[in-house]
Structure 1
Amino acid sequence: MSRRVVRQSKFRHVFGQPVKADQMYEDIRVSKVTWDSSFCAVNPKFLAIIVESGGGGAFIVLPLAKTGRVDKNHPLVTGHTAPVLDIDWCPHNDNVIASASEDTTVMVWQIPDYVPVRSITEPVVTLEGHSKRVGIISWHPTARNVLLSAGCDNLVILWNVGTGEMLLALEDMHTDLIYNVGWNRNGSLLVTTCKDKKVRVIDPRKQQIVAEKDKPHDGARPIRAIFMADGKIFTTGFSKMSERQLGLWDLSNFEEPIALQEMDTSNGVLLPFYDADSSIVYLCGKGDSSIRYFEITDEAPYVHYLNTYSSKEPQRGMGFMPKRGLDVSKCEIARFFKLHERKCEPIVMTVPRKSDLFQDDLYPDTPGPEPALEADEWLSGKDAEPILISLRDGYVPVKNRELKVVKKNILDNRPPPGPRRSHSTSNADISSPTLEEVLEEIRALKEMVQVQEKRISDLEHKLCQFTNGTD
């Protein structure tokens, strides 16, 4: 008689459970745009959700502690002239979020720690370079102020948000609509999936395709791909019979999958969320009412099914909390924010442990909020692993840090010395003293505007405190 040996894993008994009803976020008009985005982004300070809005695109930002029924007049972040398709919090500044829209622009916003009285309408910087709607944005994991955007013009652009400049444009690499883009752990490579049924691994700085796999899944529906911590690639897609599949691939042999599993026959695209610290992939299908989770190991069959969290209501989107935002005292290893039609429901994934002590094996050092590189260093070819922090004493979010954008002054690009070409004899050269006076006046005006903006912000903060005290 053969005896089956149960695989040992500290995550074998992970279970998910919803929070209590009073800890949910209710009366939120979640966007109805038909786009395979998560529609939700979360960090240790804020929850952001793309919402329905008249006359343009908007999303709502709520402090994590502001649970319960959301006031219908709660301020929004509005600035796009068409629906917002994707949002992403900056990993190095919990008060900065980027949004991508059908209006072909990407906007970066500064969110104050207090709840503003009015809607936020002025982004810190607007990035314009796409010719069609922008459906994907993603911050660089280790370099400060580097943001990626991908649009329906089949173009991937890398930006320096600190200067508002375009760093790189990856053209002629994708022949059709880009489904998703993901960074590897240190941000040296990208993995993309496309409507042409190819998965590409790209070195963005060399603007080269490092590896390419045609039809990792045979079905016609969208494919998703993400990097694992060890450099392998995890994909979700559909078979020829429209069954949902997951796959694991090694770049050294991209032709054959390490693992390929069929799951079910549902139509929803599977969105993978990866926790590098525990090597667990969570699969959330749009329109599903469940979250499946798998542990990725170095032993066959490599992708080990752990469990399924099920609820009654189908999900319209999903937010995934970074590890530093979890409650380590309750052995919480993941937290999801599940969007329904009118509410957002946090789901907590926990490993049952009897001890109240800090569990070192569940919480290795994890990427913190400090960038390892500046944008210029990364662009010049330097790579660095994320700067790690310990969660032993819990994580306390850093206070509001302002994002400063220093755009290059076009007046600094002075014309070369010599006679000016002119069609009119009345055009005279501007004398140096006059130019200096104009520059000085511009500086003075800028300082005045900054002083007034700070004054308005302080007054809004005081008014907000006064209002809260009288409710």
Structure 2
Amino acid sequence: MSRFVRASKYRHVFGQQGKKEYGFDNVKVTNSAWDTNVISASTRYVSLNWQSSGGGAFAILPLPSPFAPLPTGFPSKLPDLVPLARSHTAPVLDTDWSPFNDSIVASAGEDGKAMIWKVDSGAFDGWGLDGWEPQDFDPVARIDVSPRRVGHVLFHPTANNVLATSTGDHHVKLWDLANPESPKSVLGGHADAIQSLVFNPWGTLLATTCRDRKIRIFDPRAGSDPVRVGEGHGGIKGARVVWMGDKDRLATTGFSKMSDRQVAIWETGSLANVKTLTIDQTSGVLMPFWTDNNILFLAGKGDGNIRYYEYEHDNLFPLAEYKSSDPQRGMCFLPRRGLSVSDCEIARALKVAASSIEAIAFIVPRKAESFQSDIYPPAPSAEPALSAAEFFSGKTAPPKLVSLDDGSVFSASGSAPVAPSAEAPAPTPAPTKTTSAPPPAAAPAPVIAVHEEPAPAPRAEPTRSQTIPHDDSTVSALKEENARLNAELREARAQIRNLELQVETVRANARKAAALLES
């Protein structure tokens, strides 16, 4: 049998949908056309970009699980009115949970701001009980990132309180959340909208995909320009990138010039294309997710399929496919330290359908009840390896890992990946539809460098009458005006909340009247 079938302990991995009571119904998913995963999760909570009036908002919910019930009294079918994080003044585009604190989440919005939120453990007390009234969440920090939108937020994998944001003016900015007045590093060189970004496991390098069809790798502490630029997928539609664990490989999804959906593997040193597979010709963006079991999951927006492949010797071997009749609008995977090892669960996805969130567990079928060490490599720990100050001062430390067997924490072995040469690379041809591959390859205070821009055209100096005075009276007047506007904004939000409550009351009365008429 071994002559014809490739040996793999993941060959029979299957996806198991969680029961209805372990998910959520009646969710109101955002209608924003911006391409992100829509949902994000820690081991305790879920954040979902929400469709709401009066600016931008996202929902924070306790984690639905196929193996653990929701908190007592918490409804799996959400009411029409739920507590939201709604301090953004424009639609929320992306959220990300801190890898070191399951109660801290960052959000990004079209209003050009990023916000940090901390979830109180008692935030969900009283849900489902008579007389319960929703109380919105308030941010603990606000960051003025850009005059234009903030498309993505991403926490650093090894340094605590370090956040990366992508902006509508085509920059990636890194922030120290302890001192968020100005970015610690600004990464440029993008000619169009940034479509995705990802850190390597050590957090020393950052990769991006862009609408200009290029892949870029940055050393965030070595300057603003990319250290490597390569040609990506030939199509202009959405491209995503994910780092393939501790390997010197990137995986991307995108489209060919003929609009075929593709997945490709790239060597990080030269950004040479190692392997390209054509998936199909569906129009939905492929969302890639990597697990340290050497498995790459691909979930397509607008279809109900989740394909998964095992990576070995620069090849992607198809394992199986989870199929559903409900198309997904977004998806995320849980941190591996939150998996149920007693059920041989190697990954868990949260799928956003039209009006629901459902959990999907990927399980290796085994009869043994003991811990299966061969399918559970150490997972990223909840302990940071560095502080933000240490990272930006240039220090590098291996990520901390946790054993899923006994919970022991230790540092990863090996050395930090070396940044590729900053010399201009030779042009790399765009991936084609062929599935053939070349021979396998042989087996943190930043330097705040300002991206060089063309010199602006000279402009006339303002006259004395145009010059804005900077005396104390002007500053005091501006502060008073700002306080007045903030008070008006809070009052407007309260009015919106009251109107929503009235609408919900009217709907409830209408349902009661309809039930009485039918009886």
TM-score, L = length of structure 2 = 0.73
Tell me how far apart the structure 2 counterparts of residues 155 and 351 of structure 1 sit (CA, whole Å): 41
Deviations 1:208-254 (A, max 9, x none): 4221112x221221221121121211111111211111111112342
Give the drift of 1:344. Answer: 0.5
How well do the aligned residues superpose, as a CA RMSD in angstroms?
2.1
Deviations 1:311-346 (A, max 9, x none): 001101112100011111000011111111211011
Residue 33 of structure 1 corresponds to 32
Does the 8 Å CA contact 1:184/1:231 hold for their aligned counterparts? no
Tell me how far apart the structure 1 counterparts of residues 346 and 75 of structure 2 sit (CA, whole Å): 21
Q: 1:169 to 1:19 in 2, by over 3 A?
A: same
- Counting only pairs closer than 5 Å after superposition, residues 137-216 of structure 1 correspond to structure 2 as 137-207=153-223, 208-214=225-231, 216=232
Does the 8 Å CA contact 2:187/2:218 hold for their aligned counterparts? no
Residue 326 of structure 2 corresponds to 313
Does residue 238 of structure 2 align to residue 233 of structure 1? no
Residue 362 of structure 1 corresponds to 375
Residue 380 of structure 1 corresponds to 393
Give the drift of 1:170. Answer: 2.4
Tell me how far apart the structure 2 counterparts of residues 379 and 227 of structure 1 sit (CA, whole Å): 22
Give the SS at the match of 1:136. strand
Does the 8 Å CA contact 1:17/1:349 hold for their aligned counterparts? yes
Give the SS at the match of 2:227. strand
Tell me how far apart the structure 1 counterparts of residues 217 and 295 of structure 2 sit (CA, whole Å): 22
Residue 51 of structure 2 corresponds to 52
Residue 287 of structure 1 corresponds to 302
> 4+ runs of 1 displaced by more than 4 Å?
none
Does the 8 Å CA contact 1:155/1:169 hold for their aligned counterparts? no
Residue 273 of structure 1 corresponds to 289
One-letter identity of the residue aligned with 2:269: S
- Counting only pairs closer than 5 Å after superposition, residues 69-148 of structure 1 correspond to structure 2 as 69-115=77-123, 118-148=134-164
Residue 251 of structure 1 corresponds to 268
Tell me how far apart the structure 1 counterparts of residues 407 and 321 of structure 2 sit (CA, whole Å): 28
Residue 11 of structure 1 corresponds to 10
Structure 2: gaps spanning 5 or more residues: 64-69, 125-132, 409-468, 474-519
Q: 1:67 to 1:37 in 2, by over 3 A?
A: farther
Of the three residues 329, 338, 349, the one matched with 2:362 is 349
Give the SS at the match of 1:17. strand
Equivalenced residues, count: 393
Does the 8 Å CA contact 2:35/2:238 hold for their aligned counterparts? no
Deviations 1:340-369 (A, max 9, x none): 121101111000011011111111221111
Give the drift of 1:163. Answer: 2.3
Tell me how far apart the structure 2 counterparts of residues 307 and 165 of structure 1 sit (CA, whole Å): 48
Greater shift after overlay, 245-254 or 66-75?
A: 66-75
Tell me how far apart the structure 1 counterparts of residues 101 and 394 of structure 2 sit (CA, whole Å): 23
Structure 1: gaps spanning 5 or more residues: 396-422, 428-471
Tell me how far apart the structure 2 counterparts of residues 348 and 251 of structure 1 sit (CA, whole Å): 31
Deviations 1:100-137 (A, max 9, x none): 00110000001111225643343111011312111111
Q: 1:171 to 1:372 in 2, by over 3 A?
A: closer
Give the drift of 1:165. Answer: 3.5
